Structure 1
Amino acid sequence: MDKIVNSAAEAVADIVRGSSLAVGGFGLCGIPQALIEALLETGVDDLKTVSNNCGVDEWGLGSLLRAKRISRTTGSYVGENKEFERQFLSGELEVELVPQGTLAERLRAGGAGIPAFFTPSGVGTQVALGGLPLRYDGSGATAKASEPKEVRTFDGVEYALEHAIVCDYALVHARYGDRHGNLVYEKSAQNFNPLCAAAGRVTIAEVEEIVKPGDLDPALVHTPGIFVQRVVQVSVEKRIERRTVRVV
Structure 2
Amino acid sequence: MKTIYSSFIEAVSDIKDGDTLMVGGFGLCGIPENLILALAETGAKDLTVISNNCGVDDYGLGILLKNKQIKKMISSYVGENKEFERQVLQGELEVELTPQGTLAEKIRAGGAGIPAFFTPAGVGTPIAEGKEIREFNGKKYVLEEALTADFTLVRAEKGDKWGNLVYNKTAQNFSPIMAAAGKVTIAEVEKLSEVGSLNPNFIHTPSIYVQGLIQGKQEKRIERLTKREAGVN
1:79-228 superposed matches below 5 A: 79-128=79-128, 130=129, 148-228=130-210
SS in 2 for 1:28: coil
List per-residue Cα deviations over 1:161-189 (Å, max 9, x = no partner). Answer: 00000000000000000111110000010
Partner residue, 2:51: 51
**For 1:65-111, what per-residue CA distance to the aligned partner results, in whole angstroms no more than 9, with x for missing partners?**
01110010000000210000000010000000000000000000000
Provide the aligned length of Structure 1 versus Structure 2: 230
Identity among equivalent positions (%) equals: 62
1:6 shift after superposition? 1.1
Residue identity opposite 1:37 in structure 2: L
Instruction: List structure 1 segments (4+ residues) > 6 angstroms apart after TM superposition.
Output: none
Distance 2:210 2:91 in 1: 35
**Match for 2:83: what amino acid?**
E
Partner in structure 1 of residue 227 of structure 2: 245
Q: Which runs of 5+ in 1 are unaligned?
A: 131-147
Q: Does the aligned pair in 2 maintain the 1:55–1:79 contact within 8 Å? A: no
User: Normalization by structure 2: what TM-score?
Assistant: 0.97
Provide the rounded CA distance (Å) in 2 between the counterparts of 1:124 and 1:218.
44
Residue by residue, what CA displacement relative to the aligned partner does 1:186-225 show, whole Å, maximum 9, x if unpaired?
0010101111111110000000000111111111100001
**For structure 2, which runs of at least 5 residues remain unmatched after alignment?**
none
Q: In structure 1, the residue corresponding to 2:192 is in which secondary structure?
A: strand
Question: SS where residue 240 of structure 1 aligns?
Answer: coil
CA contact (8 A) 1:47 1:70 kept: yes
Instruction: Give me the CA root mean square deviation.
Output: 0.7
Q: What TM-score comes out, normalization by structure 1 length?
A: 0.91
Letter in 1 for 2:67: A
8 Å contact from structure 1 (residues 75, 97) kept in 2: yes
What displacement does 1:155 show? Answer: 1.1
Tell whether the 8 Å contact from 1:32 to 1:206 is kept in structure 2 after alignment. yes
Q: Say yes or no: does 1:12 pair with 2:9.
A: no
CA contact (8 A) 2:2 2:211 kept: no
SS at structure 1 position matched to 2:89:
helix
| Amino acid aligned to 1:224 | P
SS of the equivalent of 2:4 reads: coil
Q: What are the equivalent positions in structure 2 for 1:15-54 lying under 5 Å apart?
A: 15-54=15-54
Query: What corresponds to 1:145 in structure 2?
Result: none
